[in-house]
Amino acid sequence: MKNTLKLSAIALALLGAGSVYAANHSGSHNHDHGGAKEAQVTVAAAEMADGEIRKINKTTGKVTLKHGDIKSVGMPPMTMVFGVADKGMLEGLKEGDKVKFDVKQEGSNYTVTEIKKAQ
């Protein structure tokens, strides 16, 4: 009987500690983590994907890229056509150029949000 009471007390203590942890670490908190969110954004921006322009259509704002992993959207290497957020981004680029680029996903659509010649 004493063991059952001890186990019950331990279980209740653990449950109470778990609920306190959950309350203190819920998604609605807003205390500072020393710039952790800013660091994540900076790392993501620094990890632009590598690609090569295979085809470019400045009129329609479409670019065909043979690319490596696109970590920001979890896409493996392949060749595919992307729309661009702004047709002006394609100025100065041509087929065969090695580029660094970033993509955002909206549903099943992928849009190039930034593209520049690789150095």
Q: What is the mean pLDDT of residues 25-34?
A: 49
pTM over 0.85: no
- Residues with Cβ within 8 Å of residue 100, at least 6 apart in sequence: 48, 49, 50, 51, 115, 116, 117, 118
Are 54 and 66 contacting, i.e. CB atoms less than 8 angstroms apart?
yes
Q: Report the number of distinct structural domains present in the chain.
A: 2
Q: Is residue 23 part of a domain?
A: yes
Q: Give residue-wise pLDDT tens across range 67-117.
A: 999 999 999 999 999 999 999 999 999 999 999 999 999 999 999 999 999
Q: Is the pLDDT of residue 34 over 90?
A: no
Work out the mean pLDDT of the chain and round it to a whole number.
Answer: 78
Boundaries of domain holding 109: 48-117
Answer yes or no: do 108 and 56 share one domain: yes
CA torsion angle 44 46 49 55 (round to 10) = 120
Same domain, 54 and 111: yes
Confidence of residue 38 (pLDDT cuts 50, 70, 90): very low
